[in-house]
């Protein structure tokens, strides 16, 4: 899983198994021989873009080092009902511990990748980048942002720590756009931190104020209507990166993209993504 730290992945898997298994899978312990092994298949039951096959392989091999994982598809492929993404042969106890973790995670990540692909394809012929936001599931952000990339969109900041974003609440609490930017400049100088800066503006007045003060990388044009956004992008004229945010849906995405804005941030890539239906079933033993 490109771009994902092993430590994050293992911490997530450990926490998820601890939540589900605790002192043991007592149903399996009670009715399945400890040396039993089985073969299962991941069957897709929906249309979309699959994500999480790499995750599934990691989980199964972590719980059973002797497992045989056979990939039949790759992350990022379009899928349809009836497609088989992979087969797994491993200890039955390990399989039943992993089953729900694998399914829940893959269904969620595939929903995010499917939503991201839908948005990306709509504007693939335009010079605009579709970004995700911090509107993610707590503790699953690193996985959901990976799924956004699988779907063809891009990540913004990972969190509050790696990019300075001056939003409306910061502006209000600081006493205005100019004051907020000036305080950020002083903070970066005092801490010797090398962080990119975005400032959110709500109207043309705040835009002109931000441009006059400078010292920022990107201007986020929040809740601008399409005609006003086009005017704002023209005013910025490449001096800063431009970003549209707020009130943007799949239905109006292309109209916003055609204004010439550099980036469009869309919370829906994660917060409105559903789950892609799939099942993970042990294959019946043949007599």
From the candidates 38, 144, 206, 222, give the one annotated as an active-site residue. 222
Asked about 200 being catalytic, the answer comes back as: yes
> What distance lies between CA 56 and its chain's CA centroid?
17
Task: Identify the sign of the CA torsion 245, 251, 257, 262.
Answer: positive
72 dihedral zone (left: phi>0; alpha: psi -120 to 50; beta): alpha
Asked about 135 being catalytic, the answer comes back as: yes
Tokens of 260: 């010439």
Asked about 108 being catalytic, the answer comes back as: no
Asked about 277 being catalytic, the answer comes back as: no
267 vs 31: CA distance, rounded Å: 45
From the candidates 41, 167, 183, 202, give the one annotated as an active-site residue. 167
> What distance lies between CA 2 and its chain's CA centroid?
13
From the candidates 38, 64, 132, 200, give the one annotated as an active-site residue. 200
Asked about 167 being catalytic, the answer comes back as: yes
Name the residue among 122, 109, 41, 124 with its Cα closest to residue 76. 109
Q: Are 109 and 75 in contact (CB under 8 A)?
A: no
Name the residue among 262, 229, 247 with its Cα closest to residue 128. 262
String of b and e for 158-196 (b: at least 16 CB within 10 Å)?
Answer: eeeeeebbbeeebbeebeebeebbeebeeeeeeeeeeee
Tokens of 269: 């890539």
From the candidates 39, 41, 135, 183, give the one annotated as an active-site residue. 135
From the candidates 45, 100, 134, 183, give the one annotated as an active-site residue. 100
Catalytic residues: 100, 135, 167, 200, 222
């Amino acid at each position: 899983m490109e771009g994902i730290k092993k430590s994050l992945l293992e911490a997530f898997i450990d926490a998820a198994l601890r939540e589900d298994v605790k002192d043991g899978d007592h149903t399996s312990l009670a009715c399945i021989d400890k040396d039993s092994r089985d073969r299962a298949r991941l069957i897709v039951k929906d249309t979309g873009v699959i994500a999480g096959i790499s995750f599934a392989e990691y989980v199964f091999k972590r719980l059973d080092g002797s497992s045989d994982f056979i990939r039949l598809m790759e992350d990022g492929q379009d899928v349809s009902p009836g497609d088989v993404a992979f087969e797994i042969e491993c200890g039955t106890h390990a399989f039943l511990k992993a089953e729900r973790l694998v399914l829940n995670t893959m269904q969620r990540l595939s929903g995010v990748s499917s939503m991201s692909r839908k948005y990306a394809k709509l504007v693939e012929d335009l010079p605009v980048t579709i970004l995700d936001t911090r509107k993610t599931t707590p503790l699953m952000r690193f996985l959901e942002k990976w799924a956004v990339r699988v779907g063809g969109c891009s990540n913004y900041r990972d969190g509050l720590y790696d990019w300075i974003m001056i939003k409306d609440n910061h502006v209000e609490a600081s006493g205005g756009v100019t004051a907020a930017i000036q305080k950020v400049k002083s903070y970066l100088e005092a801490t010797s931190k090398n962080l990119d800066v975005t400032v959110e503006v709500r109207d043309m007045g705040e835009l002109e104020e931000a441009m006059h003060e400078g010292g920022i990388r990107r201007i986020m044009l929040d809740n601008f209507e399409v005609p006003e956004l086009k005017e704002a992008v023209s005013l910025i004229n490449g001096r800063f990166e431009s970003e549209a945010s707020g009130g943007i849906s799949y239905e109006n995405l292309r109209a916003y993209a055609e204004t010439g804005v550099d980036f469009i941030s869309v919370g829906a890539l994660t917060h409105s993504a559903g789950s892609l239906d799939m099942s993970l079933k042990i294959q019946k033993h043949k007599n």
